[in-house]
Amino acid sequence: MGFSAIQIILVFLFVFIVAIDQFDFLESLYQPIVTGAVIGAILGDLPTGLVVGGTYQLMTIGNMPVGGAQPPNAVIGGIMAAVFAISSGLDTTAAVGLAVPFAIIGQYMVTLLFTAMSPMMSVADKMAQKGDTKGIVRLNYLAMAILGVLFAIVCTAGLLGGAAMGETLSALSDKYQWFMNGLSAAGGMMRYVGFAVLLRIMLSNDYWGIYFAGFALATVIGYIPDLSGSALLLVAFVGIAIALYDFQTRCAIKSAGAGATVNGGDEDGI
């Protein structure tokens, strides 16, 4: 299946936008259920794009980046799954499987960019001390532009090269396994650094029990094959339930305290 120049340009621009959207903008356009539909519309097969996007969304629904550690990238994976299903006429399962090498390359690219931009944080600190807001803005725009261009190039190459591009990426991953292992190790360390930063800001002595309970629950769910893929999502629901209960309890106590008189009274015989 051939594509027109307009379709190729639209795919490039759309991928550029959603690559940035995963960290900025609306932070919802990059979801596979959205990207699949848009890519399907651009390539002239909206129903297939919706089906593939929805399928890929279910696959990644509990696969979230935590503290800088990146899972296989949902942006590139979802887009390429839709491209393969539409261009090659593959069924949904085969298209998703063929898109996995692209998703892994996206994971490595984000990790590599994060690593490369880490030294720039000290530059941003110096700009902040000088009050150079324009310099900080330019630095952020630079990082976003690099990410968008990298993602757009990979997806456009996949659009033009098709399955051969996926096989090439797999071969490169095998050939330079030492480099990929290094990026994987860096990504693995990032999660602990990220958790340490989050805990330093958020953790209170009152919440240690909830933290350990959540850790234990995530570990138990992770060992259940049918639930391991959505472990983070399930633990998040438990956390929301605890937060809602705590909020309602505090509101009830506050309301009861506001209605009490300072010197007491004789209501209910007291």
Q: Are residues 86 and 175 in the same domain?
A: yes
- Does residue 189 sit within a domain? no
Residue 148 and residue 34 share a domain: yes
pLDDT at 14 exceeding the cut of 90: yes
Same domain, 53 and 174: yes
Q: How far apart are CA 235 and CA 215, in angstroms?
A: 9
Token pair belonging to 62: 């509990």
Residue 212: which residues within 8 A CB-CB, separation 6 or more? none
162 and 84 within one domain? yes
Write down the number of H helices and E strands in the chain: 11, 0
Q: pTM of the full predicted structure?
A: 0.62
The answer on 111 and 10 residing in a single domain is: yes
Strands (E) across the chain are located at none
Could you tell me if residue 267 is inside a domain? no
At residue 196, does pLDDT exceed 60?
yes
With 60 as the cut, is the pLDDT of residue 258 above it? yes
Q: Are 235 and 173 members of one domain? A: no
Cβ-proximal residues to 240 (8 Å cutoff; 6+ apart), any chain: none
135 and 242 together in one domain? no
How buried is residue 227: exposed, middle or buried, by Cβ count under 10 Å (0-12/13-18/19+)? middle
> 195 lies in a domain?
no
Q: Which two tokens stand for residue 252?
A: 């009830």
pLDDT at residue 1 in the model? 59
Determine the structural domain holding residue 250 and report its residue range: 203-258
Q: Is residue 265 part of a domain?
A: no
**Cα distance between residue 170 and residue 173, in whole Å:** 5
57 and 135 both lie in a single domain: yes
H or E stretch covering 86:
helix 74-88
* Cβ atoms of residues 75 and 82 within 8 Å: no
Question: Given this model, what pLDDT does residue 183 score?
Answer: 55
56, 112: one domain: yes
| Whether residue 129 is found in the same domain as residue 21 | yes
pLDDT band at 77 (very low <50, low <70, confident <90, very high): confident
- Domain end marker among 124, 151, 183: 183
- In the predicted model, what is the mean pLDDT of the chain? 79
Predicted confidence (pLDDT) per residue in 34-63, tens digit:
999 999 999 888 998 998 888 888 777 656
